[in-house]
Structure 1
Amino acid sequence: MGSETYHEPYDVLSPAARDMHRALWSLIEELEAIDWYAQRAEVTNDAELRAVLLHNRAEEIEHAMMNLEWIRRQDSLFDKNIRTYLLKDVPITEIEEREEGKEGGGGESEGAGASLPERGGSGRGLGIGSLRGR
């Protein structure tokens, strides 16, 4: 079992890492399908075909959001960023500035690898605690 999209040997990746890979690639494929259906719907001259294609596009959006929700539930850094950036009414480019103001400075509140699972872990962080102030 393998994939051309794996960058590391499949057999050394944890089951959690393999599942995340599956979910991420499923999300990519759903987003690609959304784009394809939208393009096809835009250029067809047949109203009934356009309706079918737009219906299919809507289904793919549902699938993409289901994948994204699974990813959010597995990865604390995705969860944090989804909660920060999605479903907001303020200008998107201002969200980061507002969040940094709340935290009292720049930079990430967690380390760059904070969302990586431990070997055989849950996918909810490294489990090593904060490295700040040490």
Structure 2
Amino acid sequence: MSFDQYHEPVNELSDETRTFARMIVSLTEEAEAINWYEQRISVEKDKQAKAIMQNAQHEEFKHFGMDLEFLLRKKTVWRETLKAILFQNGDIVELGKEGEEASE
């Protein structure tokens, strides 16, 4: 069975690469779920339904964060780049340039 996350023959990919691909897909799915909840929350009129959706979205934030952390632990260049950007004050684009330069 073929999966969309593979662009090379699956049997030629290492176990690590296949795990990486699954985690990238998981990260993407979590981001998509966060977006869907954001849209639902923005139009929901029932306060209890909205609270339930907000709770569910919060769970998706956690899952997104865990997926991202897993990937950052596997790709040190990503970790070094993002350390310069995330949770920093200042211009995001400039921080991105600095992070890219620091990880080269």
Task: Tell me which residue corresponds to 1:65.
Answer: 65
For structure 1, the residue ranges without an aligned partner over 5 or more in a row are: 110-134
| Count of aligned pairs | 104
Task: Tell me which residue corresponds to 2:89.
Answer: 89
**Structure (1/2) with the larger helix percentage:** 2
Q: CA deviation at 1:94?
A: 2.0
Task: Tell me which residue corresponds to 2:47.
Answer: 47
SS at match of 1:85: coil
TM-aligned CA distance change 1:98 to 1:72, over 3 Å = closer
TM-aligned CA distance change 1:31 to 1:98, over 3 Å = closer
Q: CA deviation at 1:99?
A: 5.4
TM-aligned CA distance change 1:52 to 1:78, over 3 Å = same
TM-aligned CA distance change 1:3 to 1:98, over 3 Å = closer
For structure 2, the residue ranges without an aligned partner over 5 or more in a row are: none
Superposed counterparts of 1:9-24, under 5 Å: 9-24=9-24
Pair member with larger Rg? 1
SS at match of 2:27: helix
Q: CA deviation at 1:77?
A: 1.6
**Given that residues 85 and 95 in structure 2 are in contact (C-alpha distance below 8 angstroms), is that contact kept between their aligned partners in structure 1?**
yes
SS at match of 1:57: helix
Separation in 2 of the partners of 1:99 and 1:28?
Answer: 23
4+ residue runs of structure 1 moved beyond 6 angstroms? none
Structure 2 length normalisation: TM-score? 0.90
Separation in 1 of the partners of 2:98 and 2:7?
Answer: 36
Task: Tell me which residue corresponds to 2:27.
Answer: 27
TM-aligned CA distance change 1:91 to 1:58, over 3 Å = same
Q: CA deviation at 1:3?
A: 0.7
Superposed counterparts of 1:71-82, under 5 Å: 71-82=71-82
For residues 68-119 of structure 1, the C-alpha deviation after alignment (integer angstroms, 9 at most, x for no partner) is 000000011211112121110112122145558x86xxxx72xxxxxxxxxx
